[in-house]
Amino acid sequence: MTFFILCLFAGILAGCNGPSSKTQAFTRTDFVMDTVLGEKIYGSQDLTADLQKVLSDLEKEQLSWREAESIVAKVNEAGQKGESYETDEAFAGWVSDCLELAEKSGGAFDPTIGSLTRLWNIEGEHPTVPEEEDIQSLLEETGYERVHVDGKKILLDSGVQLDLGAAGKGIGCDVAANWLAERKDVTAAVISIGGSIVTYGEKPDGSPWTVGIQDPRNEDGVLMGSLELEGTHYISTSGDYERFFEEDGVRYHHILDPATGYPADNSLCSVTAVCDSGLLSDGLSTACFVLGKEKALKLLETYGAEGILIEKNGQVTITEGLTKRFRILEKEKYTLE
């Protein structure tokens, strides 16, 4: 009561008005992890550049195999010498989570697929289909069961390379949300790193977050549907339209099936996974894309995650938790099963 009266008469006192009186939305578009970073942070000061730096440091110092000084690069370097490398709790946790997903997905998600990705070089200038024997010989060097985590130490079997690429943007969303949680004046935010998004907190006006789902068969970024979510969620989409090339009428995209060494080929063309972890939503979207519709639905269930599965024929399947949250915008092109 006393507090209330004090606020009424001394509204200028910082804090009495609550954060909302000074809250505004700060936005920024930038680049990180080879993709577009979109930030919208509701708070009293512009923290978007600070968060961009946090994510770019995460990439350079920890996740990127391209950076010689990153933890991933050090793990790989030590592994080639038959030695383990001591990381930190967070990093070892990410690797453990990736290995668990690898196991639960029957190897559809495999964080040792990096050397094959580099062979395919789908993002290169003139990608072509690699020689069958090169694919087979690299396949022999992959396998998540050849990565060993012991506390903070990571040991790789000879020849194996660790690549957290398929979960990196989701890890970025986790790191972003944890960073925002430490900033008391931040009430809400939505951060997107390529196809991985975190909606954080409640929007000041109380309305739900709206997340667009891209039309996988339209290169102009047209949305096929939209998802309405309240509070903090992690949403990731993997599709065959993000990075690909065509040869002899066949589409070769960036999500590889670790069982064959070739791009995953089933009825799916886009998978969105929604859950309470960035790493998992990112990893699950990749794993589900490789697994195909039926097994994907089972894997989502195992993790208590929700999903939107789009098939090449325009059929859309959603999990039960999204029935009231998802709607199709391109009704002539897509139908809900």
Return residues touching Mg ion (CB under 5 A).
Answer: 166, 282, 286
Measured CA to CA, the distance from residue 70 to residue 62 in angstroms comes to: 5
Q: Contacting ligand ADP (CB under 6 A), which of 42, 85, 109, 334?
A: 109
Residue 325 touches ligand ADP, criterion: CB under 6 A: no
* Secondary structure (3-state) at 167: helix
154 contact choice in Mg ion, ligand ADP, none (CB below 5 to 8 Å, kind-dependent):
none
Residue number, nearest CB to ligand ADP: 165
Task: List the end-to-end C-alpha distance of the chain, in Å, as a whole number.
Answer: 55
Nearest distance, CB of residue 272 and Mg ion, angstroms? 11
Q: Cβ of residue 45: shortest distance to ligand ADP, in angstroms?
A: 31
- The one of Mg ion, ligand ADP, none whose footprint includes residue 109, by CB under 5 to 8 A per kind, is ligand ADP
Q: For residue 199, which of 276, 286, 273 has the smallest C-alpha distance?
A: 276
- Under rule CB under 6 A, residue 319 binds ligand ADP: no
Q: Which of 203, 254, 293, 325 binds ligand ADP (CB under 6 A)?
A: 254
Q: With CB cut-offs between 5 and 8 Å by kind, which of Mg ion, ligand ADP, none does residue 215 bind? A: none
Under rule CB under 6 A, residue 110 binds ligand ADP: yes
- Answer for which of 230, 242, 265, 330 binds ligand ADP (CB under 6 A) is 242
Among positions 184-213, residues that touch ligand ADP (CB under 6 A) are: 195
Neighbours of 30 (CB within 10 A): 15
Q: Count CB-CB contacts under 10 A for residue 293.
A: 18
CB 62 within 8 A of CB 83: no
Contacting ligand ADP (CB under 6 A), which of 62, 117, 199, 270? 117
| Residues 188 and 201: beta-carbon distance below 8 Å | yes
Task: Name beta bridge partners: 318.
Answer: 308
The CB-based long-range contact list for 156-161 (8 Å cut-off, 24+ gap) reads: 156/75, 156/76, 156/78, 156/79, 156/80, 157/79, 158/79, 158/80, 158/82, 160/79, 160/112, 161/65, 161/76, 161/79, 161/112, 161/114, 161/115
271 binds ligand ADP (CB under 6 A): no
| Minimum separation from the CB atom of position 216 to Mg ion (A) | 15
3-class DSSP state of 90? helix
Q: Please, which residues bridge with residue 66 across strands?
A: none
- If one asks whether residue 76 binds ligand ADP (CB under 6 A), the answer comes out as no
Find the binder of ligand ADP among 286, 293, 299, 310 (CB under 6 A): 286
**Chosen residue from 162, 186, 191, 256 binding ligand ADP by CB under 6 A:** 256
Name which of 277 and 286 has its Cβ closer to Mg ion.
286
Rounded CA separation 261/255 (Å): 10
Partnered with residue 199 across adjacent β-strands are 190, 233
Pure H helices in 182-268:
none
Integer CA distances (angstroms), 112 to 139, 145, 156, 252, in order: 10, 9, 10, 20
C-alpha–C-alpha distance, residues 255 and 265, integer Å: 9
Closest distance of CB 271 from ligand ADP, Å:
9
**Residue type for 286, please?**
T
**Interface pick for ligand ADP out of 42, 71, 91, 114 (rule CB under 6 A):** 114
Instruction: Give the x-and-dash track for 137-176 against ligand ADP (CB under 6 A).
Output: --------------------------x-xx--x-------
CB of 93 to Mg ion, least distance (A): 18
Compute how many residues bind ligand ADP; rule: CB under 6 A. 22
Partner from ligand ADP, Mg ion, none binding residue 117, C-beta < 5-8 Å depending on class: ligand ADP
Residues that bind ligand ADP (CB under 6 A): 108-111, 113-114, 117, 163, 165-166, 169, 195, 238, 242, 254-256, 258, 282, 285-286, 290
